[in-house]
Amino acid sequence: MNISRSIRLGIGAMALAVVATACGGGEQRSVIESAESGQLVVGIKFDQPGLGQRNPDGTFSGFDVEVAKYVAGELGVSAENIEFKEAPSPQRETLIQNGEVDYIVGTYSITDERKEKVDFAGPYFVAGQSLLVRADNQEITGPDSLRGGKKLCSVAGSTPAQNIKDDYAQDVQLQEYDTYSACVAALRNGAVDALTTDDIILAGYAAQSPANSRWSVSRSPTSGTASAWPRATTRAAPRSTTPSRR
């Protein structure tokens, strides 16, 4: 049985560049106007190998990072003039609405509730929901096998774990952490039995510890990857002058 998770993630198209974001002093401006200033602040994940990762030397790497650079380049902003700001799942809409970022690039479910707060475009990558389990765990073979009170981890502000509880294993115990890397740590030390999210995210973590984790089970090609922008009707607060985490 496949997990059916409908998400669309994508990158903001130029047609969305008229939306209002913030700049210093309370003045409102669009993403295009931010780009014309020669600087962009882009939200990404800092802890997703292969997608958005902050490296030990302070540089950033991954597919989402390259997509962010491409869009910035199309807007006339060079890569060295992009400030990457960490965008944890629970904070994404707030970062956009408060004008702390010009746009966010990353795995991001498009839901009706979120569309009331931000605008989406895409997807630029289509993925599916899956599970990550420890290599020595042969009991979990799919979402149905999470029944019996097993512990399933995902991040706060995300939707996949609740999908499994609603549709496959009503008695599964959901464990929420702020980041997926925290979920991976909990999986390694036995605090949870499995981690669920998009397979592209799980593949990056599995590649880091191929002998200790097994990325598998019940993939559905109904999800993707996207970025979000402030809604055209949203007036954002002035961008914070506090330096972003690096």
Asked if residue 3 has pLDDT above 50, the reply is no
Q: Are 87 and 108 in contact (CB under 8 A)?
A: no
Looking at residue 94, its pLDDT comes to 85
Give 108's DSSP letter.
Answer: -
Written out in words, the top-level CATH class of the domain with range 129-219 is alpha beta
For 118, left (φ over 0), alpha (ψ -120 to 50), or beta? beta
46 exposed, middle or buried (CB, 10 Å; 0-12, 13-18, 19+)? buried
Q: Are 5 and 73 in contact (CB under 8 A)?
A: no
Sequential DSSP letters for 129-152: EEEEEETT--S--SGGGGTTT-EE
Q: Are 50 and 203 in contact (CB under 8 A)?
A: yes
Per domain, the residue ranges of the chain are 14-126+225-230, 129-219
For 158, left (φ over 0), alpha (ψ -120 to 50), or beta? beta
CA distance 186 to 178: 12
C-alpha distances out from residue 243 to 56, 84, 216, Å: 18, 10, 39
Written out in words, the top-level CATH class of the domain with range 14-126+225-230 is alpha beta
Tell me which amino acid residue 6 is.
S
Strand 47-48 with 52-54, pairing: antiparallel
pLDDT in tens, 67-105: 999 999 999 999 999 999 999 888 888 888 888 889 888
Give 82's DSSP letter.
Answer: E
Provide the Cα torsion 223, 226, 230, 232; round to 10°.
-80
- Adjacent-strand bridge partners of 61: 53
Q: Give percent above pLDDT 70 in the chain.
A: 72
Residue indicated by tokens 């059916």: 4
- The band of 31, judged by pLDDT with boundaries at 50, 70 and 90, is confident
pLDDT in tens, 180-214: 899 999 999 999 999 998 888 898 988 887 666 66
Looking at residue 221, its pLDDT comes to 37
Q: Do domains 14-126+225-230 and 129-219 have the same CATH topology?
A: yes
